Amino acid sequence: MIKITNLTKSYRDKKALDNLSLEIAEGSVFGLLGVNGAGKTTLLSILNGLITQDSGKVEVFGLDISKDAKKIKNFSSVIPQHLAFYEDLSVKENLDFFAKVQDAKQENYDKAVEINSLKSIFSQRASTLSGGQKRRLNIAIGLLNNPKVIYFDEPTVGIDPKSRNEILDSIKEYKNFGITVVYTSHYMNEIEKICDEVAIINHGKLVEQNSVENLITNRNSDNVSVEVVYSKNLKELEFDMSSETTIRTKESELFFTLELCKKHNIAIKQISYGSTNLEKYFLDITGVCDV
């Protein structure tokens, strides 16, 4: 289990993480959601021992990261957002190098190659690989040390849908090996597809942590979306608009909102309760569009 308690990290005057607390269950696929600059990468860097926190505590499988970073690194792995391998080396040379650096076992090497379907491109120079193949190599390197926990930092950025699905399917497989996965992505549908649980972070703070199922069905939300026909009056009424023709309101304020619409001749098209998917829910609770 990964236990994060009151974690704080600042860069000069800016707080990247602000008293953040989280718990990630062993063997789960855990999604981290947040807009750019929300603190996801900072959190992953601390979890991976690349940077140190200002205050707070992180325990990974019972080990304190402040004291046992080296031990934790031995059984954890990070798959960085940017491709972290040598473009001028072949696939095999890259895998051999990173395997020897970590003293990886042959069976782990073979497993990483198999899961990521790299055998057929073994002798190819990394610079000549397609976007999807590069991503797979990037992931395979992270599997060489047979990690108990893997941190994925937006691993599907800039690749075609087919490769993305292959990668997502392979990540789902890690559960079968008992690996804990912490996954950050800009793509909500990916989180929906592979994650058991999600934490939403905004301005370095935890906004919500829940199972994907709970968030999608939105059991705890009283949000209501009122879709209307466009009218100039909408601007004057100063509604909370999530789009040009959608009013965002609470269930308790719905009657008042509908009365106002009627009074100003704004035609109602549809009323929907809660969010219909994770993306809507995310937008509802963070109030931003740039994800």
| 109 is an interface residue for another protein by CB under 8 A | no
| 70 is an interface residue for another protein by CB under 8 A | yes
Site for another protein in 226-265 (CB under 8 A): none
Applying CB under 8 A, among 66, 74, 210, 231 the residue interacting with another protein is: 74
The tokens 């807009």 sit on which residue? 35
Applying CB under 8 A, among 43, 112, 113, 141 the residue interacting with another protein is: 141
| 180 is an interface residue for another protein by CB under 8 A | no
- Near another protein by CB under 8 A, which window of 78-86, 193-201, 210-218, 275-283? 78-86
CB of 146 to another protein, least distance (A): 13
Q: Between 45 and 116, whose beta carbon lies closer to another protein?
A: 45
Count residues binding another protein (CB under 8 A).
30
Cβ-Cβ contacts under 8 Å for 229 (sequence gap 6 or more): 245, 266, 267, 269
Q: Between 88 and 244, whose beta carbon lies closer to another protein?
A: 88
CB of 20 to another protein, least distance (A): 18
- Near another protein by CB under 8 A, which window of 71-79, 177-185, 265-273, 283-291? 71-79
Answer whether 61's CB lies under 8 Å from 75's CB. yes
Instruction: Report the 10 Å Cβ neighbour count for 238.
Output: 7
Give the x/- contact pattern for another protein in 145-174, rule: CB under 8 A.
Answer: x-----------------------------
Answer whether 22's CB lies under 8 Å from 44's CB. no
As a whole number of angstroms, the distance between CA 158 and CA 167 comes to 13
CB of 271 to another protein, least distance (A): 46
CB of 15 to another protein, least distance (A): 16
Applying CB under 8 A, among 24, 43, 65, 77 the residue interacting with another protein is: 77
Applying CB under 8 A, among 18, 27, 50, 260 the residue interacting with another protein is: 50
- Near another protein by CB under 8 A, which window of 99-107, 189-197, 226-234, 269-277? 99-107
| 82 is an interface residue for another protein by CB under 8 A | yes
| 75 is an interface residue for another protein by CB under 8 A | no
Instruction: Report the 10 Å Cβ neighbour count for 47.
Output: 25
Applying CB under 8 A, among 97, 124, 170, 231 the residue interacting with another protein is: 97
Residues that bind another protein (CB under 8 A): 45, 48-52, 70, 73-74, 77-78, 80, 82-89, 93, 96-98, 100-103, 141, 145
